[in-house]
């Protein structure tokens, strides 16, 4: 039985350690513990210095922080403008000719946009929004593919003080309607369609379906991208290119209060109703500008940055649009999937644009492993000097594969933990400072206070626990749109005075943090609380396994039994017994899966998240729940067929 002070057992024990190279340290933006020490001495003063040195203000603030738990106001009284910080100030300082975005469409079409050109487009579209009746404080919904116009629309909203609500282009019409109605948005910006897997997927028709039940929308702006036929409603619908041709490029940035609502971004809730996470202007910009500078060690004059996320997610907000542009960086933006027209598309892009910093998801990395190391080997990836991961815990062996085959055993890896709610990176190595361990996000960044606690809220010094944040930070959410009671209950009620959003973690003997995934995914096997992440990591550490997903299924003897779904590397073969024995050797017999299903793919959402809920349905023989958000719904049908056979057991 586990110690009753622990909530999750700490089973795996990773000893490999990688120090930053001397060459990297010499050029790093920070190469000492000075930032950690400064933040520990004066939490508020540390963040005030970041805001003062990294952000341009029209009016200085009166107070650094107004903290009335759980509500925070940062840089109270200060006034600024996001688009000015991302565009105007770089042009004014003589960098207007610097490339802001190298954009590549999935079919191969390309655009290069300088800071001067991006500023011109943002000014024009800000005037378009004003001409359509958008005023300071209004909400604008954005439902676009990964095209530069998405960034233009977002920045134009910040220029005039409208709050944007970006909806991922893969979401259904119902999901779009729900978000429009919750925010009472006035204008929708969409496109005819976008490119994915070699075909045009329609967006305008999805939007039209949503608009049948969204009375707040007055005007719709449509970007021509897919070239597919669309229906345009007279008086309501307008072509983006026609409005932009007529728009003035004279649009001074509006000075906005530091706590002015900048954007809403919706994240799923356990009740089924999405939560509209609110982020405001001054604190959010300070957080993402600071983290992009130090966590990504950005050198704007020489680096080419690529985050492979979509702007519909918070990663795209913080580390495609606002963090990179506020730092004056050059970046790559890509529209499509990583395997069109071939499995080497990402590596071809890195070689073409000489990308120096690459940031992607562990799900993508494990997919690259499945496709084989011969794909990146086709291309020259030596321009890379740093690589990173985001979105979920990364398995140690996926980390090692990433280091070897993408980073050439030279690039530091930044494994980052953060959430839609936190606004920016919270736990991560600093690449010029931190010795890294494969699979560990290492330590809270300077200015962030994180602790593990047990069920009683008592601090855990070693082993598994609940991950909590103990001090306010500038990028933190300011609440849930229209439901502050839900905000308090969701994030602040479990542990008094602590922010808790549902993730488990462990601390090893060296004080390194290891994220263990959502505590909802913890399995209770004969009284042992075991993280799905650790069992998945053990499975992926087998040389024949590319990816795995683990769930707990009801079991009359043990309470829950461990059921694993495994995807093998191309051409590999291994028995269930060998994999169970491998898990026992890696982390202990208690973690051996009772049943293992081999599958060519796992059920994932369009954003790449594994849908464990559906896997639990399969494991327990239930009717499948909603599959509309899956990238490929046929995957679960194949799994269900496999599950009809009797499970093999030792």
Residue 542 makes CB contacts below 8 A (sequence gap 6+) with 574, 578, 579, 582
Query: Can you give the pLDDT at residue 642?
Result: 64
How does pLDDT run across 467-524, given as a tens digit for each residue?
Answer: 999 999 999 999 999 999 999 999 999 999 999 988 999 999 999 999 988 787 777 7
pLDDT for the residue numbered 1: 33
Among 598, 556, 535, residue whose Cα is nearest residue 12: 535
Q: Please give the share of the chain, as a percent, with pLDDT higher than 90.
A: 77
Q: Looking at the structure, do residues 37 and 89 belong to the same domain, yes or no?
A: yes
Q: What is the Cα–Cα distance from 375 to 386, expressed in whole angstroms?
A: 19
Confidence at residue 498, expressed as pLDDT on a 0 to 100 scale: 97
| Greater pLDDT, 11 or 363 | 363
For residue 650, name the pLDDT band (cuts at 50, 70, 90).
very low
In a domain, 14, yes or no: no
In DSSP notation, 427-457 reads B---TTTPPB-TT--BSBPTT--EEEE-TTS
**CB-based contact 328:301 (threshold 8 Å):** no
Comparing 107 with 3, which gets the higher pLDDT? 107
Please return the burial class of 320, using the count of CB atoms within 10 Å of its CB with bins 0-12, 13-18 and 19+. Answer: buried
Say whether both 479 and 609 belong to one domain. Answer: no
Running DSSP on this structure, what letter comes out for residue 274? P
168-223 pLDDT, tens digit per residue, is 998 888 889 999 999 999 999 999 999 999 999 999 999 999 999 999 999 999 99
CA distance 286 to 424: 10
Q: Which of 472, 503, 534 is the last residue of a domain?
A: 503
Q: Does any domain span residue 518? A: no
- Among 503, 537, 559, the domain-final residue is 503
Q: Indicate whether 499 and 528 sit together in one domain.
A: no
Please report the pLDDT score of residue 26 as a whole number: 97
Let me know if residue 145 belongs to a domain: yes
Asked if 6 contacts 460 with a C-beta cutoff of 8 angstroms, the reply is yes
Name the least confident of 399-403, 569-573, 624-628, 635-639. 624-628
> Do 560 and 466 sit in the same domain of this protein?
no
**Are 365 and 476 contained in the same domain?**
yes
**Are 88 and 224 part of one and the same domain?**
yes
Residue 77 and residue 58: Cα distance in Å, rounded? 11
User: How far is it, in rounded angstroms, from Cα 143 to Cα 150?
Assistant: 8
Q: Which two tokens stand for residue 130?
A: 């004003």
- 564-574: average pLDDT: 87
pLDDT at 4: 43
- Residues 370 and 72: their CA atoms lie apart, in Å, by 45
For residue 160, give the CATH number of its domain.
3.40.50.12780
**Percent over 70 (pLDDT), the chain:** 92
**Which is higher by pLDDT, 541 or 628?**
541
- Residue 609 shares a structural domain with residue 481: no
Average pLDDT over residues 2-11: 54
C-alpha–C-alpha distance, residues 444 and 449, integer Å = 7
Is residue 530, in this structure, part of any structural domain at all? Answer: yes
Q: How confident is the model at residue 530 (pLDDT cuts 50, 70, 90)?
A: confident
Q: Sorting pLDDT into bands at 50, 70 and 90, what band is 623?
A: low
Same domain, 219 and 91: yes
488 lies in the same domain as 556: no
Last residue of a domain, one of 474, 503, 532: 503
Instruction: Examine the domain organization and report whether 468 and 604 are in the same domain.
Output: no
**pLDDT value at 460 more than 80:** yes
Listed in sequence order, the residues at least 6 apart from 350 whose beta carbon sits closer than 8 Å to its beta carbon are 306, 358, 379, 381, 383, 384
Q: Enumerate the H helices of 132-225 as residue ranges.
A: 148-160, 173-183, 204-211
On whether residue 452 sits in a domain, the answer given is yes
pLDDT at 648: 45
Q: Is the pLDDT of residue 646 over 50?
A: no
| pLDDT tens by residue, 42-101 | 999 999 999 999 999 999 999 999 999 999 999 999 999 999 999 999 999 999 999 999
Q: How many CA atoms lie within 13 A of 127 on its CB side?
A: 15
Q: What is the CATH number of the domain that holds 597?
A: 3.30.300.30
Any domain includes 326: yes
The domain of 378 spans 22-503
This prediction has a pTM of: 0.86
Question: At residue 232, does pLDDT exceed 70?
Answer: yes
Q: What is the total count of domains within the chain?
A: 2
* Chain mean pLDDT for the chain: 91
The predicted pLDDT at position 299 comes to 98
Residue 251: inside a domain: yes
pLDDT the model gives residue 300: 98
pLDDT of residue 323: 98
């Amino acid at each position: 039985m586990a110690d009753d002070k622990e909530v999750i057992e700490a089973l795996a024990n990773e000893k490999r350690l990688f120090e930053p190279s001397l060459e990297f340290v010499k050029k790093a933006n920070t190469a000492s513990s000075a930032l950690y020490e400064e933040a520990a001495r004066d939490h508020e003063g540390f963040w005030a210095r970041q805001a003062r040195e990294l952000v341009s203000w029209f009016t200085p603030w009166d107070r650094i922080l107004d903290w009335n738990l759980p509500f925070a106001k940062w840089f109270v009284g200060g006034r600024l403008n996001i688009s000015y910080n991302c565009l105007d100030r770089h042009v004014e300082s003589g960098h207007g000719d610097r490339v802001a975005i190298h954009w590549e469409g999935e079919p191969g079409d390309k655009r290069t946009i300088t800071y001067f050109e991006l500023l011109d487009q943002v000014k024009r579209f800000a005037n378009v929004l004003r001409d359509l009746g958008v005023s300071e404080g209004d909400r604008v919904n954005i439902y676009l593919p990964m095209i530069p116009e998405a960034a233009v629309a977002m920045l134009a909203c910040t220029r005039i003080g409208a709050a944007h609500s970006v909806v991922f282009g893969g979401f259904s019409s119902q999901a779009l309607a729900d978000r429009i109605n919750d925010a009472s948005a006035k204008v929708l910006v969409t496109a005819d369609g976008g490119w994915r897997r070699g075909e045009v997927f329609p967006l305008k028709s999805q939007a039209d379906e949503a608009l049948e039940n969204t009375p707040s929308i007055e005007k719709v702006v449509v970007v021509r991208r897919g070239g597919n036929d669309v229906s345009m409603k007279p008086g309501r619908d307008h072509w983006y290119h026609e409005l932009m041709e007529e728009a003035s490029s004279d649009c001074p940035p509006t000075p906005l209060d530091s706590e002015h609502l900048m954007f809403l971004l919706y994240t799923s809730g356990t009740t089924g109703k999405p939560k509209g996470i609110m982020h405001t202007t001054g604190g959010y910009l300070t957080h993402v500008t600071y983290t992009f500078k130090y966590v990504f060690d950005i050198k704007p004059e020489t680096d080419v940055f690529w985050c492979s996320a979509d702007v519909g997610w918070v990663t795209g907000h913080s580390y495609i649009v606002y963090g990179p542009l506020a730092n004056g960086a050059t970046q790559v933006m890509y529209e499509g999937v990583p395997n069109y027209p071939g499995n080497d598309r990402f590596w071809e892009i890195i070689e073409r644009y000489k990308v120096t910093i690459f940031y992607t998801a562990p799900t993508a990395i494990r997919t690259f492993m499945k496709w084989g190391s011969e794909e990146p080997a086709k291309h020259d990836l030596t321009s890379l000097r740093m690589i990173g991961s985001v979105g979920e815990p990364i398995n140690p062996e996926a980390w090692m594969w990433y280091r070897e085959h993408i980073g050439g055993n030279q690039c530091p890896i930044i494994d980052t933990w953060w959430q839609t709610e936190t606004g920016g990176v919270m736990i991560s190595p600093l690449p010029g400072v931190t010795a890294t361990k494969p699979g560990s996000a290492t330590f809270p960044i300077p200015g962030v206070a994180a602790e593990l606690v047990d069920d009683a809220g008592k601090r855990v010094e070693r082993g598994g626990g609940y991950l909590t944040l103990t001090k306010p930070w500038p990028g933190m959410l300011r609440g849930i749109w229209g439901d502050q009671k839900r905000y308090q209950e969701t994030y602040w009620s479990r542990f008094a005075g602590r922010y808790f959003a549902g993730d488990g973690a462990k601390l090893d003997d060296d004080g390194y943090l290891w994220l263990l995934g959502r505590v909802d995914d913890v399995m209770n096997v004969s009284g042992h609380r075991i993280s799905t992440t650790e069992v998945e990591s053990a499975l992926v550490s087998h040389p024949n396994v590319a990816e795995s997903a683990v769930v707990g299924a009801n079991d009359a003897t043990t309470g829950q039994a461990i059921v694993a779904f495994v995807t093998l590397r191309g051409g590999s073969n291994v028995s269930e017994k060998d994999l169970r024995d491998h898990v026992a050797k890696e982390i202990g017999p208690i973690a051996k899966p009772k049943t293992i299903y081999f599958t060519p793919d796992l059920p994932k959402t369009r954003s790449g998240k594994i849908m464990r809920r559906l896997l639990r349905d399969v494991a327990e023989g239930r009717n499948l729940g909603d599959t509309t958000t899956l990238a490929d719904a046929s995957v679960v049908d194949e799994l269900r067929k496999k599950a009809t056979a009797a499970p093999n057991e030792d």
